[in-house]
Each structure stands twice: as structure tokens, then as C-alpha cells.
Amino acid sequence: MSNTLPNILLILVDQWRGDSLGFLGHPCIRTPNIDHLAETGVSFTRHYAQSSPCGPSRASLLTGQYLMNHRVVTNNTPTSRHLKTLPWFMRESGYDPALIGYTTTVPDPRITDANDPRFSTNTIADGWNIVRDFEGRREHYLAYLSGLGYAIPGKYEDLFRPAPGSDESLRLAPSPISAEHSETAWSINGALDYIRIRQNQPWFLHLGTFRPHPPFMAPEPYHEMYDPRQVPPPVQAETLVREQNTHPLTHLLLDTIKAKSGVHYMEGLAAEVTVEDWRKMRAAYYGLCSEVDHHLGRVFQLLRDTGQDQRTLIILTSDHGEQLGDHHLVNKRGYFPQSYHIPCIVRDPRPVADAARGRRVTAFTENIDVLPTIFEWLGRDRPHQFDGRSLLPFVHGNDPGNWRQQAHWEYDFRDMAGGEAASRLGIDPDSTSLSVIRDDLFAYVHFAELPPLLFDLVRDPHWLHNVADDPAYSGAALRYARLMLDWRLRHADRTLTGLSISSNGLIGRA
């Protein structure tokens, strides 16, 4: 590796809502270290993931492609071997890309033997130098806890199953793992060690944190950081029945998603959770966010103390958001924006970015823009594989021409309801998909076989009233269906379309 290369720190926090940041004016959450990063960089306030849950979204981040092109539609869907991913792109640039966390990857069965144990749990994508592995069964982290004297259950999730009745009068039970031994502390300690060791050599680090992903059980003192009575209540329709009647998929979601998706020992459906208990879950979630913020502050401080902040590009984003009781749901399922709106902050240390520091960009940006941003920062041409565009013009104080006017995301719900979503909805198993396009005026949701949805965002910013069948909105519905078709035609996989044969051989670029 050339010693002249700069450093790149890609921070990927799991399940962080785009509105849950102090500097954006959230009514209670405190994130001083991320706030400072935003003050010294550029924040993208309408940034969206391309899909959910983790696997499909991370595939978009790692390939630079929309879900319709990479086709990793669930956490358990294999990734096609022909797709080049971020670690291999970075190796072409001279880096030995390091990873803390996970990528939720399944290998391509066309070139991998069926007996390979990687088909029994998610693994980390090929090409990474793995520093700390939090993938699959979390064995590395469990081994760490075991060495500290913790009693290790059969599965990682079992750590967070307190005895029935442990819910307190005001708050949910705290994490049984102390703050100094939490997943977040363990991951960040690994990052600090790596950055210290590599401080005289260029590096690329994917720093992933599992939190604020469920279960929503924060360790002390973060468990008591937020008073549930002071956190904002969830956005919901007037009645559960009204919410259910929005759409057949909405009804299936509300009949399927369990409260234990957020807190492992809560019984029943998420749709049955009271507003009081949603406030408790939100308080725990915000505590987990603040814990991550605290530890990220340690990373930023080390970069400053060692002078590495002056040669390190920092990008912070997430893989998807979290419903937190909005629309009576927990986790990240369906079409609602709370599951896809995520943070994005880019800090370029070079003087060319000085004039734009602290800028808040309101243009629609997406996680497929992350790889092109890294490529432009390294002076590399954007491959045809990428569906996104570089964010650096915004970071340098400019407004790139012909920027997208909408945000897009997709969701495949074939694995819902125990894999019976298609039969329960009466549709073909290959039709369990939806695609969303939204701008300042409308949000349109298209399904392969089910009726579409349309929301008038001027009158209905919380997506509560479907007007797709209202004759007064027929023109808008048609217009957004056409916009979606235009988008799909424009971005259909073009990996090889830039190449052509000629009398002089192959011409063009991939």
C-alpha cells in the first residue's frame, strides 16, 4: 500500500432513524459527538436507504446498486459472485480494507458447495480484513464475554431475556451487560486499537456498530438517560382498524410483527403495545443511540490526538431506520419512511471543503451515493455498476446539476408471516415486492400484484390517508407511476452496457 494514500473511515450504525439526532432539533435525544461531526462536515437531512432489512440494504451500500439490480432481496438471499463489492474496489485502490461488524452476506451457491457452513448463518462478504466479527452467531463477542465471566446462553439473543416481570414501573429492564462490556464498547475498542496501530500507514476501516438495533435494552447509565414521559409519542392513525385498512400489506404487517422484535421479553403483537410502552421503548432506543455517540466520540478524539483527522475522509450512515411505534409497528418492515430515512454525514478534511462545513443539504440523497463519493475522493472514475452519484460537490459547497428530485426504496416481503406472505395475500410468490418513490408533494408505492398507494404529503405528511383510489388524485397517481417506470428504465443494470465490440476489439468502459 502506498504511504501517500489518505485514510477512509466508513461508519455504519445499524437501525438509526434519520430524525434521531440532536443537531436536527430532536426534542430529546442528545448526540454531541455526531453533532460535532456534522458541524465540521456536511449533513444530508433527506438521506434514504435503498431497502430493508440489513442484508438487502447493505448489498446496495457495498455494490452501489439498487435492489432491483443486485437482487439481494432478504437477509438470506445469496449475493451474485459477479458483483464487485466495496472491499474489492478498495483493494484495486491499494487498500487492505478492514472491517468491524458485519455485512449480512450469503455466498453464491453456483460457485459454493452446498455443504459449506456459510449456508447455515450469515457471514461477512469476501475481501475484508476482519478486525472484529459481529456476524451470524456473534461467537467472537460471546467468547469475549465468556472470558470476563459472563454466563453464556445458547444464543446471543438469550442474553436479553430477563425473567418475566422484570419490566419496571417506568422503564424497560436495562441490559444485563455492563456499559464497559457492551457490543458498542467492544466494537469501538477494536477500532481504537486498529487506528493506533495503523496511524503511520494509510487505512480503510468499515466501522459497524450493532446498536441501536434491538433488543431495546440499554446498559446503565444510558438506560436512565431519557425519561419515557418526555419522549415524543409515536405517529399513528386514530384507530388500529384505520391503520389496518390502509392496505392489505399494512394489515399483514400489523397481524405479523411481534413486540419482541423490539424487546425480547415483551409478549403479543407490536400493534397491541400501548403508547406508554412505546415511550419506554423509545427511551431505551435513544439511550442506545447516545451510547453509540459517546463511543464514536472516542474515535473522533483519537483521530484528532494523532493528527489523523487531517487526512481521513469520514462518512457516517446507517443501513435502515426503525418504526419505534409509528404506524403501530416496530423494526423495519414495509413501505413507511421511518424504516428508510437514515443519517448521512460526510467530512472531507481538505481545505476545499472548508466553506461548506456545517452545511445541511436537503436534496434527496441515497446510500447508493456512498461508493461514488469514495471513488471521486480517491480520483477514480465511476464504474457503470454504480447507480448513485458522488456527494462531494455538496460537501465542497456546490449544487451538482441534474440531481435526482425524488428518493426511492424497495422492499421484498416474501419472508414475512413465516414465509407465507404470498399465500396470505393471495399473490404469486415472486410478486411479493414493492417500490416507493417520494418527493416534496407525494409518495407513491407500487406493488407487483396488490393495489398501489398514494399519499398527499402536503396535506398528509405522516402517510396516514391513502388517496390512490380518489378520482381527484388519478392524475397524480398516473404521473408518479410513470416517474417510477422512468426510474426503473434509467437504472436497470448497465454493468456491461458501456462496452461494445469493434474492428479494433472491445471499446468503452465497464
Question: Tens of pLDDT along 283-311?
Answer: 999 999 999 999 999 999 999 999 999 99
Distance (Å, whole) CA 172 – CA 264: 11
pLDDT value for 228: 96
Provide the percentage of residues in the chain whose pLDDT is more than 90.
92
Sequence spans of domains, the chain: 7-237+262-409
Cα 449 to the center of its chain, rounded Å: 27
Residue 95, helix vs strand vs coil: coil
Q: Using the predicted structure, report yes or no on whether residue 104 has a pLDDT greater than 70.
A: yes
pLDDT value for 510: 77
Q: Using the predicted structure, report yes or no on whether residue 187 has a pLDDT greater than 90.
A: yes
Q: Are 279 and 229 within 8 A, CB to CB?
A: yes
**Burial group, residue 64, by CB count within 10 angstroms (0-12, 13-18, 19+):** buried
Q: How confident is the model at residue 494 (pLDDT cuts 50, 70, 90)?
A: confident
Its pTM stands at: 0.97
Residues 130-167: tens digit of each pLDDT: 999 999 999 999 999 999 999 998 899 999 887 666 65
pLDDT value for 168: 60
Q: Using the predicted structure, report yes or no on whether residue 475 has a pLDDT greater than 60.
A: yes
pLDDT value for 167: 59
Q: What is the DSSP letter of 295?
A: H
What one-letter code names the amino acid at 367?
Answer: N
Provide the percentage of residues in the chain whose pLDDT is more than 70.
98
Distance (Å, whole) CA 456 – CA 461: 7
The residues assigned a catalytic role are: 54
- If we measure between CA atoms, which residue out of 103, 123, 62 comes closest to residue 210? 103
Q: How confident is the model at residue 170 (pLDDT cuts 50, 70, 90)?
A: confident
pLDDT value for 417: 86
* Other CB atoms within 10 Å distance of the CB of residue 414: 17
| Pick from 39-43, 74-78, 225-229, 417-421: least confident | 417-421
Cα 452 to the center of its chain, rounded Å: 25
Residues 216-261: tens digit of each pLDDT: 999 999 999 999 999 999 999 999 999 999 999 999 999 999 999 9
Q: Are 384 and 510 within 8 A, CB to CB?
A: yes
**Is pLDDT larger for residue 463 or for residue 166?**
463
Q: Using the predicted structure, report yes or no on whether residue 495 has a pLDDT greater than 90.
A: no
DSSP string, 395-442: HTT---TT--SSEEEEEE-TTSGGGTHHHHHTS-GGG-EEEEEE-SSE
Class of domain 7-237+262-409: alpha beta
pLDDT value for 163: 64
List the beta bridge partners of residue 436: 409, 445
| Pick from 121-125, 146-150, 263-267: least confident | 263-267
Mean pLDDT (whole number) for 454-483: 98
Torsion of CA 486, 487, 493, 497, to 10 degrees: 50
CA-derived radius of gyration, the chain: 22
Q: How confident is the model at residue 90 (pLDDT cuts 50, 70, 90)?
A: very high
pLDDT value for 112: 93
